[in-house]
């Protein structure tokens, strides 16, 4: 595909093409119900579509309608980092808009999959971010003060891995020259900024004439990291309107952080998808852990508002309310799942709520106006740290309903392995580690963290069927071993175990973590399934059904053995979430086995699956164009699973 790189000399031609395109297109005939205008379809992120041309009876007849290749792949060789393809396209005005791991924005014809335009921001592909080269999509806004055919009436916003906010004309891909400096706003002017430590992977949120961005921060490297500030910019000019820091700066903190009430930290950043409520003028911010992840001795207290969902007034950035899901996080239990806005029947009333899950596997249902839980949440005593210098939160907020969607305990008797030797080794390891279930703090001897740092619920999030009051979520079951290593030993000792070693610079301890896997077959020590799909009745707070999602095959984890299909355990770890449709379908990829699947929303029965060019670590979307419904998924493999095949494919399915 030829890429059109817009400079000022290209704009007149681009505008002529755009005018012809607008005149002859079906933009005006495209109904909003046929579109997918936001990452989660609606602004509240339900991921629900009213389309039902494709339903339970005919989904098995789906065929590939078209495949678009972005041409953007990096295998991590040389100075570049490995890329993934996590975009969820949006569909507005008869055009699909998507992003690549290189932050190129591409407009695609929704009927044929052919490229209409592409914009390349020329990111630095050697930027040392912890996420690899990924981007999850764009946001859009229509300026009601501009006439229909004027440049940048509809804008496409992208936030880049090298910390820029870019505004493009939706028709031509030309930068909006009145936004920031030649279409860009520099996002690097945050406290503690350093290349690679601070980047953006998720689409902005847009409400009224404001565009809001968070950030992704490599928060496990050191005690002091860049600020996790959330910022709002004028959608027309790029002027900063307000900023909000989940953990306010503390310039009086000493180097040792020993004084009461002083702290050294950073991050608590909003790296996932935000949701908005136009009527209430609220934007809902999911925040991650404070830095560093596994030692909190230099950040005493609850560390509000890390690991929270916070409702901000969109016009001012002032807090309307906040709810913290994890106090004084020591497990990397980010609030990674996007907040989902829905209305639920409760005690005879229809109550607007925010549904929020996180990596613990817990789901919290909060009143959208007040932040108060609909189902009781009890501050429950949890295990306490024995690490010198650490002060654990004495309690954690545990919801009475729904029940946790992922396992939170593992006993030695439950140790799993394909061979007797593996089972015995796993059993011995469990006995040797500190293991008191969820919220067991990191220790010097080593701790079993369950859930591990990729779930429960991850950025994959969940989808909500408002006709059935069902929430659909995919979860992971991969415990981890976490160990703190005193500074002197960390700096001098050999790295004997296979896994991730991180310095946590500025603290008394380095850190080691690894997935909890057997030595011979290199498979998880926890019984399968290692990935689940769950339907939760949100009116009653009960689980309607729960099934294994996908299969664990030879590429499911680095170093895993080759297993035949008959020997593959059910349930694959997944990164990439579900959607639901009025046709009674749940559509989800995300698994490490490369399939897009359709399930019956009512029963969880698998109705159809199609093999993809690579694993689809993204959330699908659906739209209807010229009378035909399409389902689209990005299939590119994952930036951090080297054994997975890579691709650059955007695949659309439709009925013949």
361, 406 Cβ separation under 8 angstroms = yes
407, 416 Cβ separation under 8 angstroms = no
Structural tokens at position 123: 């990111």
Please name the helix (run of DSSP H) or strand (run of DSSP E) that holds residue 313, with its range, or none. strand 308-313
Q: Which residues are CB-contacts of 347 (< 8 A; sequence separation ≥ 6)?
A: none
Q: One of 332, 465, 593, 648 is an active-site residue; which one?
A: 332
Our CA dihedral for 7, 12, 13, 14, rounded to 10 degrees, sits at: 70
CA–CA gap between residue 68 and residue 113 (Å, rounded): 6
Q: Which of 364, 359, 353, 265 is nearest to 305 (CA)?
A: 265
Q: Which residues of 518-529 are buried (b: 16+ CB within 10 A; e: fewer)?
A: beebbbbbbebb
Q: Report the DSSP pairing between strands 184-186 and 462-465.
A: unpaired
Q: Which of 44, 36, 37, 38 is nearest to 282 (CA)?
A: 44
Q: Tell me whether residue 120 is one of the annotated catalytic residues.
A: no
Q: 586 to each of 163, 261, 340, 425, 535, how far by Cα in Å?
A: 34, 48, 17, 39, 10
Q: Report the DSSP pairing between strands 578-581 and 48-49.
A: parallel
392, 328 Cβ separation under 8 angstroms = yes
Q: Which of 644, 528, 523, 522 is nearest to 589 (CA)?
A: 644
Backbone angles phi, psi at 442, to 5 degrees: -55, 150
383, 441 Cβ separation under 8 angstroms = yes
Task: Enumerate the active-site residues.
Answer: 332
């Amino acid at each position: 595909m030829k890429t059109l790189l817009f400079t000022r000399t290209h704009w007149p031609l681009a505008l002529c093409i755009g005018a012809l395109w607008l005149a002859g297109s079906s933009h005006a005939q495209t109904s909003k119900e046929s579109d997918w205008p936001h990452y989660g379809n609606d602004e509240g992120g339900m991921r629900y579509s009213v389309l039902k041309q494709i339903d339970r009876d005919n989904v098995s007849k789906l065929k590939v309608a078209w495949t678009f290749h972005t041409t953007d792949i990096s295998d991590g060789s040389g100075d570049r980092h490995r890329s993934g393809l996590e975009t969820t396209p949006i569909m507005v005005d008869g055009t699909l808009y998507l992003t690549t791991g290189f932050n190129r924005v591409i407009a695609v014809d929704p009927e044929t999959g052919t490229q209409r335009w592409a914009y390349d921001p020329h990111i630095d592909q050697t930027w040392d971010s912890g996420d690899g080269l990924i981007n999850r999509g764009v946001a859009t806004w229509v300026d009601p003060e501009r006439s229909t055919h004027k440049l940048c009436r509809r804008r496409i916003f992208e936030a880049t891995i090298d910390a820029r906010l870019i505004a493009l004309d939706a028709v031509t891909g030309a930068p909006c020259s009145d936004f920031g400096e030649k279409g860009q706003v520099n996002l690097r002017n945050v406290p503690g900024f350093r290349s690679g430590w601070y980047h953006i992977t998720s689409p902005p949120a847009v409400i009224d004439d404001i565009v809001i961005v968070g950030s992704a921060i490599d928060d496990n490297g050191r005690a002091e990291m860049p600020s996790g500030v959330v910022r709002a910019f004028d959608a027309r000019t790029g002027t900063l309107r307000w900023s909000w820091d989940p953990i306010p700066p503390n310039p009086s903190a000493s180097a040792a952080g020993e004084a009461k009430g002083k702290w050294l930290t950073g991050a608590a950043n909003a790296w996932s998808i935000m949701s908005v409520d136009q009527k209430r003028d609220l934007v809902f911010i999911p925040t991650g852990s404070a830095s560093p992840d596994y030692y909190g001795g230099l950040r005493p207290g609850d560390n509000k508002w890390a690991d929270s969902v916070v409702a901000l007034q969109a016009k001012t950035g002032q807090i309307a309310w906040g709810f913290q899901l994890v106090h004084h996080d020591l497990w990397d239990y980010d609030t990674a799942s996007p907040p989902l806005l829905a209305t639920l029947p409760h005690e005879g009333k229809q109550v607007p709520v925010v549904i929020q899950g996180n990596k613990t596997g817990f789901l919290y249902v909060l009143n959208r106006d007040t932040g108060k839980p609909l189902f009781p949440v009890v501050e429950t005593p949890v295990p306490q740290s024995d690490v010198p210098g650490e002060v654990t939160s004495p309690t954690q907020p545990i919801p009475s309903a729904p029940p946790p969607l992922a396992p939170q305990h593992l006993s030695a008797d439950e140790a799993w392995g394909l061979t007797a030797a593996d089972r015995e080794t796993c059993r011995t390891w469990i006995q040797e580690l500190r293991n008191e279930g969820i919220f067991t703090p990191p220790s010097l001897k080593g701790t079993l963290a369950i859930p591990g740092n990729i779930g429960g619920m991850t950025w994959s999030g969940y989808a909500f069927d408002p006709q059935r009051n069902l929430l659909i979520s995919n979860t992971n079951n991969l415990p981890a071993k976490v160990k703190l290593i005193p500074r002197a030993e960390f700096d001098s000792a050999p790295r004997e175990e296979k896994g991730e070693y991180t310095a946590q610079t500025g603290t008394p301890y380095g850190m080691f973590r690894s997935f909890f896997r057997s030595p011979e077959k290199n498979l998880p020590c926890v019984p399968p399934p290692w990935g689940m799909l769950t339907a939760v009745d949100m009116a009653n707070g009960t689980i309607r059904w729960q099934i294994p999602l996908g299969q664990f095959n030879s590429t499911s984890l680095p170093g895993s053995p080759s297993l035949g299909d008959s020997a593959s355990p059910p349930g694959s770890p997944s990164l990439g979430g579900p959607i639901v449709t009025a046709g009674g379908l749940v559509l989800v990829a995300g698994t490490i086995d490369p399939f897009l699947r359709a399930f019956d929303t009512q029963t969880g029965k698998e109705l159809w699956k199609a093999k993809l060019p690579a694993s689809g670590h993204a959330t699908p979307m659906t739209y209807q164009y010229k009378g035909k419904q399409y389902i689209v998924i990005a299939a590119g493999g994952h930036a951090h699973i080297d054994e997975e095949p890579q691709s650059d494919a955007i695949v659309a399915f439709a009925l013949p």
